[in-house]
């Protein structure tokens, strides 16, 4: 394999320090450098034993192993191993498999996306295995994205320079001339749209700014609550139900009217606590009659499934939403994440008016998102929000579900924005 190395890639690739790390922005070739470093070592020194680790199995299978096979035009066997002609072996394992390797003696190891590991436990475990005889030198390598003041920062950035730890850093722009022009242009838009992500994953900043970005600004939510639409049409109404069962969470009924092919108005919101599922069904039927609702969309996760089933038994037009399901759109971690970005499109374009409710506004402006290491956008979970002291965003989630399925009111009329169109296309083939 012949490639023209950037200076930062060269420093990492040819470092002979015991613990070299490449901590760099997206698009800097980190994975290629790690795999090339380990392959070159094993090719140069016969009978070496190397281990490449990724935290999750799916990432190891779908990313790391596929990249290795593609770069070196080889096939990994069913044991997740590649055997070189000179007797060297490169093993691929994920985090949950490491406990069975306690007696292994390694020449070197590599950790891909090391920031995915919450602490240095895996690194220290592998460090203890660098004891294979006959190796000219032994190494533990890692590649990572900057991730605040985590265990990597403490050992490689905040640690005084020494003989063992060797740190190489780079931003995405250090490799700009090897990246597509439209990709670079999009990064510059990201600086405004997702500044925290831009600082961390593009500029490779270790500052603790909070890796999560806010989905909606206070101004967007305020504008939506005071919007005035001058439309004479009425295309129909959808009621979304975010179901809770007792406890502190609310069951929220959110009714949205489609007043034009693209614009939505939230006409009613009602919140309940400590009512059983059949009472929720009864309330839904009452609101459907009072507000002339055409479609009911229910958060089908957990206890919400009982509401969906009962309404279907009564031959209501019901759409079940399961936010935990994988999204068919590779840009999103799951359906809930995709749904929130569909709702965001309405706010971004000024196509939605919401009820003037302080709790709803507070919930909408508390929703955060982050990027997974594979580029997927993921809304921060309700459990994680509670840990940060926020209430469960039940009112915001009900509004989101209504936005997702509002296009079902009038089939064939597209929602604004590419993400929303893709959602309905994938689920219903409306635009095929």
Domain assignments of the chain as residue spans, ordered by start: 7-202, 213-428
**Which of 319, 318, 346, 344 has the alpha carbon at shortest distance from 331?**
344
Answer CATH for 213-428 from 3.10.310.40, 3.30.1330.10, 3.30.420.240, 3.90.1150.10: 3.30.420.240
DSSP code of residue 97: G
**Which of 227, 213, 241 has the alpha carbon at shortest distance from 352?**
227
Pairing of strands 139-144, 81-83: unpaired
Q: For the chain of 432 residues, list the mean pLDDT of each consecutive stretch of 10.
A: 87 95 96 97 96 94 95 95 97 90 92 94 94 92 91 85 86 94 88 80 76 79 92 86 75 94 93 84 94 92 85 91 90 92 92 94 89 82 77 92 83 48 54 30
DSSP code of residue 91: E
Say if CB 217 and CB 387 are below 8 A apart.
Answer: no
Q: If you search the block for the tokens 């109404």, which residue do you land on? A: 237
Q: For residue 427, what pLDDT is reported? A: 58
Answer CATH for 7-202 from 3.40.50.2000, 3.40.50.300, 3.90.950.10, 1.20.140.10: 3.40.50.300
d(CA 197, CA 205): 10
Q: For residue 426, what pLDDT is reported? A: 61
Q: For residue 1, what pLDDT is reported? A: 61
Q: For residue 412, what pLDDT is reported? A: 41
Q: For residue 392, what pLDDT is reported? A: 83
**Which of 107, 103, 96, 57 has the alpha carbon at shortest distance from 80?**
57
Q: For residue 429, what pLDDT is reported? A: 44
d(CA 80, CA 301): 36
Torsion of CA 155, 160, 163, 169, to 10 degrees: 60
Q: For residue 101, what pLDDT is reported? A: 84
Spatial CB neighbours of 75, under 8 Å, sequence gap ≥ 6: 69, 82
Say what the pTM is: 0.57
**Which of 363, 353, 342 has the alpha carbon at shortest distance from 223?**
353
For the packed helices 394-405 and 335-349, what is the interaxial angle rounded to 10 degrees? 80
- Kindly state the helix (H) or strand (E) to which residue 398 belongs, with its residue range: helix 394-405
């Amino acid at each position: 394999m012949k490639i023209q190395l950037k200076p930062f890639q060269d420093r990492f690739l040819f470092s002979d320090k015991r613990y070299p790390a490449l901590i760099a922005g997206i698009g800097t070739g980190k994975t290629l450098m790690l795999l090339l470093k380990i392959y070159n070592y094993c090719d140069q020194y016969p009978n070496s034993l190397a281990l490449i680790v990724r935290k999750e199995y799916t990432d190891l299978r779908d990313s790391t192993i596929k990249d290795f096979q593609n770069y070196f035009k080889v096939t990994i066997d069913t044991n997740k191993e590649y055997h070189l002609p000179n007797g060297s072996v490169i093993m691929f394992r994920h985090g949950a498999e490491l406990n069975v390797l306690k007696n292994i003696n390694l020449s070197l190891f590599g950790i891909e996306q090391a920031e995915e590991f919450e602490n240095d436990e895996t690194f220290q475990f592998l460090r203890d295995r660098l004891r294979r005889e006959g190796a000219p030198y032994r190494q533990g390598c890692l590649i990572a994205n900057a991730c605040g003041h985590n265990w990597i920062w403490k050992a490689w950035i905040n640690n005084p320079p020494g003989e063992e730890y060797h740190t190489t850093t780079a931003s995405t722009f250090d490799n700009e001339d090897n990246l597509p022009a439209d990709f670079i242009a999009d990064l510059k838009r990201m600086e405004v749209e997702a500044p925290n992500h831009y600082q961390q994953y593009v500029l490779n900043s270790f500052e603790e700014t909070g890796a999560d970005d806010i989905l909606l600004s206070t101004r967007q939510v305020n504008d939506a609550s005071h919007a005035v639409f001058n439309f004479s049409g009425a295309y129909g109404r959808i009621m979304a139900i975010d179901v809770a069962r007792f406890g502190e969470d609310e069951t929220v009924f959110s009714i949205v009217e489609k007043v034009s092919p693209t614009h939505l108005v939230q006409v009613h919101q009602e919140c309940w606590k400590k009512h059983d599922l059949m009472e929720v069904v009864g309330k839904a039927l009452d609101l459907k009659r009072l507000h002339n609702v055409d479609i009911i969309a229910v958060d089908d996760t957990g206890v919400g499934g009982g509401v969906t089933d009962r309404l279907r038994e009564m031959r209501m037009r019901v759409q079940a939403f399961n936010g935990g399901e994988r999204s068919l759109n590779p840009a999103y971690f799951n359906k809930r994440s995709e749904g929130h970005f569909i709702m965001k499109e309405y706010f971004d374009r000024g196509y939605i008016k919401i009820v003037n409710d302080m709790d709803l506004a507070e919930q909408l402006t508390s929703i955060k998102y982050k990027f997974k290491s594979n580029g997927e956008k993921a809304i921060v979970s309700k459990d994680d929000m509670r840990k940060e002291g926020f209430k469960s965003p039940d009112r915001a989630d009900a509004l989101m579900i209504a936005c997702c399925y509002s296009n079902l009111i009038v089939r064939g009329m597209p929602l604004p924005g590419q993400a929303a169109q893709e959602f309905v296309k994938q689920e219903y083939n409306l635009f095929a």
